[in-house]
Structure 1
Amino acid sequence: MGSFDLAGRVALVTGATSGIGAATVALLAERGAQVVVAGRDRSRGEAVVSAIRDRGGKAAFVPADLRETESVRQLAQKAVALGGGQVDILVNNAGSYPFGPTEQAQERDIDAVYALNVKAPFHLVAALAPAMAERGSGAIVNLSTIAAETGMAGMALYGSSKAAVELLTKAWAAEYGPHGVRVNAVRPGPVQTEGTAGMGGDLDALAAQAPAGRPAAPREIAEAIAYLASDAASFVQGAVLPVDGGRSAV
């Protein structure tokens, strides 16, 4: 597998009990990484871990509510302990993606979205990147959205939180890149997951605007994440990779 091989690496993936996160831990484990599956739902998390172990992979589940700062810090500590003293790959995938009129957003909604989408990645990077830099290697992949770049009605709250993530990606690349830590982001288009199932025809209509003409499968996004996490992307830093079926091209 060469530069895509992740044997010996420890990867922490947030929001890993379903959708893109579950596809990502499965793929990283398939490529040899020991994965730490983080999420709120223990039964789903244990199911993801069992499936990975059944295929011969190494995985452990750590319950965490990333809207709570203390829970985020404890997750980082537990991941390091499970990884034998280090985490080599961090995938900030957990996110909330509400949409609706700006005037209908409640204060608690705004706080919850920014806590999960912005503060949690910030605290995890603060907790884990310095040790990566000290070792001289590491990879961080953040999840964004096409709504971070394109103004869309009803997407002000979600889009703005992910626009912050894209700037953080570049700032962290500048901060930690000189010490061997690569920080990049993936910007997915519409993806068919449990979380987007409720969108129904709206998801298909959004996907129809792109050349691919369909929503992505979670595995297709996971492939991009795994690439950025691997040595195959050794010269890629501070990039935001669109994986949107060509939406950004038209």
Structure 2
Amino acid sequence: MNNSDAPVALITGAAKRVGAAITEQLHALGWRVLVHCHHSEADAESLCQRLNLQRLDSAHYLVADLSDANAITALAEKAQAHWRRLDALVNNASSFYPTPFGGATQNDWDLLFASNARAPYFLSQALRPALAARGAGAIVNIIDIHAAYPLQDHSLYCMAKAANAAMTRALAKELAPAIRVNGVSPGAIAWPEGSGEMSEAMKTEILRTVPMGRVGGVEAVAEAVVFLITGTSYINGQIIAVDGGRTVWG
């Protein structure tokens, strides 16, 4: 495939971890990738440099704060303009930290809903014309098994991800047949970092409920996302749990 004819994907939160794994797997299949980041610009630049060494002009990074409504509009415009086409959107960027009931603030609500629900919705809306242009666009939303099975002390995050799941099913109806919309719900994939870091006791308790007995690794989520984009043309409105069987634990 000539690189100028290669399909294009925008992946939000793509500089590290799950987003980077999705980016790398799509790129390995010949896709051009738009790598969105917010604070991790150095990581995004490094990832794009490495991918462009493999295939010239195949990766480009864009910086945007998805909690800023104006930044979402600007990101959509830049994404559409860079290679003049867009075939897939992966809404991966996410804020995650505990908000124990009684201590949660309206700012916590705004931050967690902004990245996990509002930004995916309005970015999908802004990019709809580009994704629909060839009649075979795809949106994949990264949700979380905790949208359906809440995590202790993380009520706002779980609520925001539940809104994301509802959005996935609703947009699958509204955007078909030109755009398919699906979701991937990770379980214990990679332990959170920074403010969302978990104690060893919590990690042990989580793994006790995973029949596979281990974390899945970011590649497991990327495989599911890539399948929903490139491996099927008829799956729509579905949410795949990538959780090692945790949701059937009981």
User: TM-score when scaled to structure 1?
Assistant: 0.91
Superimposed CA distance per residue, residues 11-48 of structure 1 (whole angstroms, 9 cap, x where no aligned partner): 00000011100111111111111000000122111011
Match of 2:156 in 1: 157
Q: Which moved more, 1:199-208 or 1:121-130?
A: 199-208
State the match for 1:35 in structure 2: 33
- The 5 A counterparts of 1:50-199 are 50-56=49-55, 58-83=58-83, 85-178=84-177, 180-192=178-190, 195=193, 198-199=197-198
Q: Measure the CA separation in 1 of the matches of 2:193 and 2:44.
A: 16
Structure 2, unaligned runs of 5 or more: none
1:103-162 Cα deviation digits (max 9, x unpaired): 111111111111111111011111112332343110000011111001332121111101
8 Å CA contact 1:18–1:194 kept in 2: the answer is no
Aligned to 1:3: none
Number of residue pairs matched by the alignment: 241
Secondary structure at the counterpart of residue 130 of structure 2: helix
- Structure 1 residue matching 2:102: 3-state secondary structure: helix
Distance 2:66 2:34 in 1: 15
- Please name the residue that 1:233 is paired with: 232
Following superposition, the deviation at residue 204 of structure 1 comes to 4.1
Question: Considering only aligned residues, what root-mean-square deviation do their CA atoms show, in Å?
Answer: 1.7
The AA in structure 2 aligned to 1:170 is R
Identify the residue that residue 205 of structure 2 maps to in structure 1.
205
Under a length normalisation based on structure 2, what TM-score does the superposition of the two structures give?
0.91
Please state whether the residue corresponding to 1:242 is helix, strand or coil.
strand
Shift of 1:52: 1.6
- Do residues 13 (structure 1) and 15 (structure 2) align? no
Query: Post-superposition shift, 1:75?
Result: 0.8
| Residues 98, 157 of structure 1: 8 Å contact kept | no
Larger CA deviation: 11-20 vs 129-138: 129-138
CA distance in 2, matches of 1:127, 1:22: 23
Taking the aligned partners of 1:131 and 1:53, their CA distance within structure 2 comes to 24
In structure 1, distance between residues paired with 2:155 and 2:9: 31
Q: Are the equivalent residues in 2 in contact too, given 1:189–1:207 (CA < 8 A)? A: no
Native 8 Å contact 1:19 1:194 kept in 2:
no
Contact 2:94 2:116 in 1 (8 A): yes
- Conserved? CA contact 1:19–1:195, under 8 Å: no
Q: Secondary structure at the match of 1:203?
A: helix
Q: Distance in 1 between matches of 2:164 and 2:103?
A: 23
Bigger CA drift: 48-57 or 59-68? 48-57
Give structure 1 stretches of 5+ with no counterpart.
1-6
Distance, in Å, in 1 between the alignment partners of 2:122 and 2:113 is 12
1:82-109 C-alpha deviation (Å, 9 max, x unpaired): 12x2211000000011123121111111
Q: Deviations over 1:172-191 (max 9, x none)?
A: 0000113x211000000012
Q: How far does residue 194 in structure 1 lie from its aligned partner after superposition? A: 6.0
Q: Determine what percentage of the aligned residue pairs are the same residue.
A: 35
Partners of 1:100 and 1:16 in 2: CA distance: 25
- Of residues 124-133 and 35-44 in structure 1, the stretch that sits farther from structure 2 once superposed is 124-133
Give CA-to-partner distance per residue, 1:46-84, whole Å, 9 cap, x none: 01112222333610011111110111111111111112x
